[in-house]
Amino acid sequence: MGVVHASPALAQPTSSIALESRAQALYQQGRERFFGGDFEQARLAFQSSLDTVDSPNTRMYLGRTLLRLGRLADAWALLDRAARDADGRAVAEPRYVPTRDAARAEADAIAPSLAWLTLDAPDAPDGLQVRINGSALQRSGLGVTMPMEPGEVAVTASAPGRRDARATLTLAAGQRELQTLTLEALPVVVAPPPPVLPPPRQVPPPPPDRSALHVSAFTLYGAAALVGGTALGFYLSADSAWHDLDALRMVNRVDETLRAQGGRDQDIAIGLAAVGGALLAGGVILTYFGWRSPPARRAPITLHVGASGVGGAF
């Protein structure tokens, strides 16, 4: 049972005949390795034949080989698929009936030794990726009962914008387990708006340093007071002297009133000259030290002229 019989001769393209010939040769090679006990080489030959031409017989023998290698779940899946494929072909080709019955019986014999897992992901998001023991599961596999080797099974599911779902199951032979994968949506992180900063404070530029100019003004005021006082003193003294001479010519005596007035004028002139000299000396000193000091250390002296006179501050 399981031997591929020759099909009735039909007109086929050369390429199809060549593929079937290659698949038949690999199939026969796999059978030789299988009955010789070299199951790994038999698996490679049966897999190559099945990749060349799909055949229920080849699939059944591949399942038998995996059973010998201890891969129970993979063996059941291949035998179950071989039984279903052979059943479909047996309607038109009765020669596949023995293949169908044999594959079904062997799959049913393995079933009690397996665990059965069904994964469900309600509202499965786009980009869902599910892995079982590290192997990817197609999206079409969700909701389908799968044979599993008894033991520990690790299931992970991930999707963009969702929190990963993980489950570790310990399955026993004959156990049927339904595992629901729920992927919670990650919270949407809203970036805070940028802080509104107050407009930068407009700091007026520092006033220009005019201490040297203001100190020079003391010198000018002092010099003007000295010159004015001296000139006024000389003028008043001369005026007093002329009054004395006129009085002597008229009455040949000194007018005491004019003499007293001349003395007062002289005192005023001397006082003005003294004040002017003090202002002049102070201005010269301040001007000298103002020029020699750094600009940042010059005295911030300011002067102003108002209705009440000349004023200043420092």
| In contact, 146 and 115? CB cutoff 8 Å | no
Give the pLDDT score at 183.
84
Could you tell me which of 210, 216, 131, 197 has the C-alpha nearest to residue 166? 131
Q: How many residues does the chain have?
A: 314
Give the pLDDT score at 293.
52
Confidence band of 256 (pLDDT split at 50, 70, 90): low
Which of the residue ranges 121-125, 178-182, 278-282, 309-313 would you say has the lowest mean pLDDT?
Answer: 309-313
Pairing of strands 145-148, 135-137: unpaired
Kindly state the average pLDDT of the residues 45-72: 95
| In contact, 279 and 240? CB cutoff 8 Å | no
Confidence band of 194 (pLDDT split at 50, 70, 90): confident
CA distance 272 to 265: 11
Collapsed DSSP state (helix, strand, coil) of residue 214: helix
Give the pLDDT score at 168.
93
Give the pLDDT score at 9.
43
Q: What is the CATH number of domain 115-180?
A: 2.60.40
CA distance 134 to 152: 13
Collapsed DSSP state (helix, strand, coil) of residue 250: helix
Give the pLDDT score at 54.
93
Q: Is the pLDDT of residue 288 over 70?
A: no
CA distance 125 to 155: 17
Instruction: Express each pLDDT in 161-187 by its tens digit.
Output: 888 989 999 999 999 999 998 888 888
Kindly state the average pLDDT of the residues 259-281: 70
CA distance 228 to 273: 8
Kindly state the average pLDDT of the residues 220-245: 62
CA distance 101 to 242: 163
CA distance 103 to 106: 5
Give the pLDDT score at 72.
95
CA distance 225 to 240: 22
What's the one-letter identity of residue 314? F
More confident residue, 165 or 281: 165
CA distance 81 to 88: 11
Instruction: Express each pLDDT in 147-163 by its tens digit.
Output: 999 999 999 999 998 88
Q: Is the pLDDT of residue 5 over 50?
A: no
Could you tell me which of 6, 102, 94 has the C-alpha nearest to residue 61? 102
For 78, 152, 160, 169, the CA distances from 133, given in Å and listed in that order, are: 20, 9, 21, 11
Residue 283's CB: how many other CB atoms inside 10 A? 19
Domain ranges of the chain: 15-113, 115-180, 211-313
Instruction: Express each pLDDT in 72-106 by its tens digit.
Output: 999 999 999 999 999 999 999 999 999 999 999 99
Kindly state the average pLDDT of the residues 247-264: 57
CA distance 119 to 137: 10
Give the pLDDT score at 277.
72
What's the one-letter identity of residue 199? P
CA torsion, ordered 55, 56, 59, 65, to nearest 10 deg: -120
What's the one-letter identity of residue 169? L
Give the pLDDT score at 212.
45
Q: Which of the following CATH numbers is that of domain 15-113: 3.40.50.300, 3.30.465.10, 1.10.3720.10, 1.25.40.10?
A: 1.25.40.10
Collapsed DSSP state (helix, strand, coil) of residue 155: strand
Give the pLDDT score at 185.
85
Q: Is the pLDDT of residue 304 over 70?
A: no
CA distance 282 to 215: 9
Confidence band of 190 (pLDDT split at 50, 70, 90): confident
